Amino acid sequence: MSASSRLLRPSGAFVLLATACLTIMVGSAIVPGLPVVAHQLGLKGLESWLVTMPSVGVVVLGPVAGRLVDKVGLRPGLLLGLFLYGAFGVAAPLLHGPYVVLIDRFLLGGATALVMATGTGLISTFYDGQQRLAMIARQGMAIELGGVIFLTIGGWLASRGWWYPFSQYALAWVLLALALRYIPVQPKQAGPTLEQDAAGMPRELLRVYCAAFFSMGCFFVGVIVLPLRFHEIGIGEALTGYFLAFVSLVAVGFAALMPRLASRAGSNTTLFVAFISYAVAHAIFSVSDALPAFFCGAVALGAGFGLSVPLVNHLTVEISSENRRGSALAALSMAIFAGQCIPSFMQYSPGNTAALFRAAAAMGLVVALGLPLLNQFRRT
């Protein structure tokens, strides 16, 4: 065990893993009751932006968060990020109208960027070598398990009151108290930055970032459009939350299988299977009107996520050099959250929810076929 990892006890590692769950909660907390929540907040017709505006905040405010972390340090940055995350998260039900609500969600994204940068930076500080890789893998699993937990709780809370799901954001304040207690002051080390320094970055990361961007786009089309589709056919918020939690649970299972598949078939084949799974899932959703068929699509959707997202995290660590790993991981986070914005722009396309699913199926198929071509271009 390295000297740095001995400074972080299991309780501190738990806090860092629990903090990682906040990245999935930023959008998923309100997804099960999305149509009702949007109506109550005065955003009818802008439902998807409630979920994806924090992603915009991550992308736009990420460099600002990176500079702030460089100035104040990792641990103080984490504490500040957790405080702001809770504050902006629970404030939304007190607001009304598209401008103030979306500004609040945008700033919530900035707080999320701060939490992401410091959480990954602290892992890089307290863990070395294989321990670091193992901890990053656990971080990815924690995010997916967080999806199961928060979607399930969010659906249950939404069925009891439209504003109840926002109470989940107060978890950040609980983690703030735990971080104060269990995250020690780390050894002096340069903090991570969210600004991507292109010079010296391996060209192979372009393929990884593209895969991350489109993976989250394919996944979040399902996460955002499925509640709208279920609302159309009379399925309630609680069942919607349980269904989306099932998708996340499937993703956890496939994430556990991913290392074996990647080692045997290679990362290229694994990503190909992931995006074909996305295409199959959305093709099923586009023609389904009964729950059994939707559950078949849920398995494919979870497979796409579970096989791709942990793999791009692993590839980023493997490809990037030691002195640029924090910056590479931060850029990956920005690619992931940028991909979550895809559904918001797709909603402006003509057609109903079935048309959106067909477009997402086409996107998954094009990416599955295009990534190998991008890999060949990289080699030339």
Q: pTM for this structure? A: 0.74
Cα distance between residue 29 and residue 151, in whole Å: 6
**CATH of range 1-184; options 3.30.300.10, 1.20.1250.20, 3.40.50.80, 3.40.50.10320:** 1.20.1250.20
What's the whole-number mean pLDDT along residues 88-111?
94
Q: What's the mean pLDDT when you consider all of the chain?
A: 83
Read off the pLDDT of residues 261-287 as tens digits, 9 standing for 90 and up. Answer: 888 888 899 999 999 999 999 999 999
Cα distance between residue 117 and residue 111, in whole Å: 10
Residue intervals in the chain for CATH 1.20.1250.20: 1-184, 199-380
- Tokens representing residue 107 in the block: 């700033």
Cα distance between residue 314 and residue 133, in whole Å: 7
Looking at the predicted structure, is the pLDDT value of residue 303 above 90? yes
What contacts 266, CB < 8 A, 6 or more positions away? none
For the ranges 58-72, 87-101, 108-122, the one whose mean pLDDT is highest: 87-101
Backbone angles phi, psi at 255, to 5 degrees: -65, -35
Q: For domain 199-380, which architecture applies?
A: Up-down Bundle (1.20)
pLDDT given at position 129: 63
Read off the pLDDT of residues 238-266 as tens digits, 9 standing for 90 and up. Answer: 788 788 888 888 988 888 788 788 888 88
The secondary structure of 206-260 as a DSSP string is HHHHHHHHHHHHHHHHHHHHHHHHHHHTT--HHHHHHHHHHHHHHHHHHHHHHHH
Cα distance between residue 322 and residue 148, in whole Å: 33
Cα distance between residue 240 and residue 221, in whole Å: 15
When comparing pLDDT for 66 and 157, which is higher?
A: 157
pLDDT band at 197 (very low <50, low <70, confident <90, very high): very low
